[in-house]
Structure formats: C-alpha cells, structure tokens
C-alpha cells in the first residue's frame, strides 16, 4: 500500500469509481441480509464485467456500505486478476477512527490491499465528501453505482458524472424492488 496526499497514478480510460449509499440509506438494511447479498453479488458481476471490458483500476471512496462492498469485491478479484488495481480515496485521514467492529476491519483490509490510499484532508471539513466524489469521478471514465434515493450524495455524484460525460453503470434499487428482484 502506498499512502499519499493527492497524487493518483491511473489511466482515466481504464478507471472505474464507485458510488452508493451507506447501509442505512437502503430501505432494508441491516435487517435483510438476503437483499444486501443480492446487491453485493450484482456489484461483483458489474466489476467483473468492467474488468473484462478492459478496466483495470477501481477507485473506492472508502465509505461504509456500497464503497466498502465494492472494494471488498475488488480485493477478492485481485487474487485471480493480478493486474487489477484498487485505489482508496478517503475524504479525511481520521475517518478510520470513526469506524467500529466489522466496518473498522473492512477499512483496514481495503487499506492493506489497496495499491494506493489517498487522503484529501487530515481532518473532516464540510465539503470533504463532495470533494472526494468529484475527485474520483474526474479521474474515471466509468462509475458503478448503487442508488435508492437520487436526492442524496450518491444521486449528486451520478448527476455530476453524467454531466461530465462519464459512463454510468447503475444498480437502481427502486427498479429492482418494483420488478420484485429484491
């Protein structure tokens, strides 16, 4: 793992970033492990499809929920796809200290497995999450997202990516529920 303070080494054309809600942003988590595991499986398939399409670098924003689920999928794929890269972009360095239990363990696993970990700030500031989201999108040619509520940070990130012409591959939880998939 390399820790640095803004220098990201990746090729935008082969880079994907993730966006999605924290666990409490879904209508069923944490009570419904089956639906959560369906989303995790769908994420793994989308990441593998991106890899098969030539994407090699995957950026996670290190947030609880979708970011960590996706990052753990990439960690798993690293064992069979040795040229895959994982980049962690944390909005602030002391974010790790806020984690507890499994969330703290996953954060540590992702940091250890990552090829780079970038901290945008030393401490929390009001704009750090928006800065992190734009930082990731600006360095990616595709966003893999999981969205339930588009009036959220995830929705804003997807809107920003679309405005920038970045390809979107989105798991829409509302559509899945409407079609009785989850």
Does pLDDT of 5 surpass 70? no
Confidence label for 35 from pLDDT (cuts 50, 70 and 90)? confident
Burial 6-24 (b: 16+ CB within 10 A, else e): eebebeeebbbbbbbbbee
Q: List the domain boundaries for the chain.
A: 15-178
Q: Does CATH number 3.40.50.450 belong to domain 15-178?
A: yes
Beta bridge partners of 19: 145
d(CA 167, CA 143): 6
Q: Taking a C-beta distance cutoff of 8 angstroms, is the pair 8, 116 a contact?
A: yes
d(CA 18, CA 157): 10
Q: Is 109 helix (H, G, I), strand (E, B) or coil?
A: helix
| 126-162 pLDDT per residue, tens | 999 999 999 999 999 999 999 987 888 899 999 999 9
Show the beta-strand stretches assigned E in the chain.
Answer: 3-4, 15-20, 57-60, 85-90, 116-119, 142-147, 167-172
Beta bridge partners of 117: 3, 88
Query: pTM here?
Result: 0.91
d(CA 38, CA 97): 29
């Amino acid at each position: 793992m390399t820790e640095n303070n803004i220098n990201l080494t990746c090729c935008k054309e082969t880079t994907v970033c993730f966006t999605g809600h924290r666990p409490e942003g879904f209508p069923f988590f944490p009570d419904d492990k089956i639906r959560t595991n369906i989303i995790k499986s769908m994420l793994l398939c989308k990441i593998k499809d991106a890899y098969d399409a030539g994407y090699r670098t995957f950026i996670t924003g290190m947030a609880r929920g979708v970011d960590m689920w996706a990052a753990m999928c990439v960690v798993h794929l690293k064992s069979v796809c040795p040229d895959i890269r994982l980049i962690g972009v944390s909005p602030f360095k002391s974010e790790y200290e806020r984690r507890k239990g499994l969330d703290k363990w996953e954060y540590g696993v992702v940091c250890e497995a990552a090829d780079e970990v970038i901290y945008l700030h030393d401490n929390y500031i009001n704009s750090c999450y928006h800065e992190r989201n734009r930082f990731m999108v600006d360095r990616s040619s595709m966003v893999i997202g999981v969205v339930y509520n588009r009036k959220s940070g995830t929705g804003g990130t997807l809107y920003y990516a679309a405005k920038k012409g970045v390809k979107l591959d989105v798991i829409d939880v509302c559509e899945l529920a409407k079609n009785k998939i989850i």
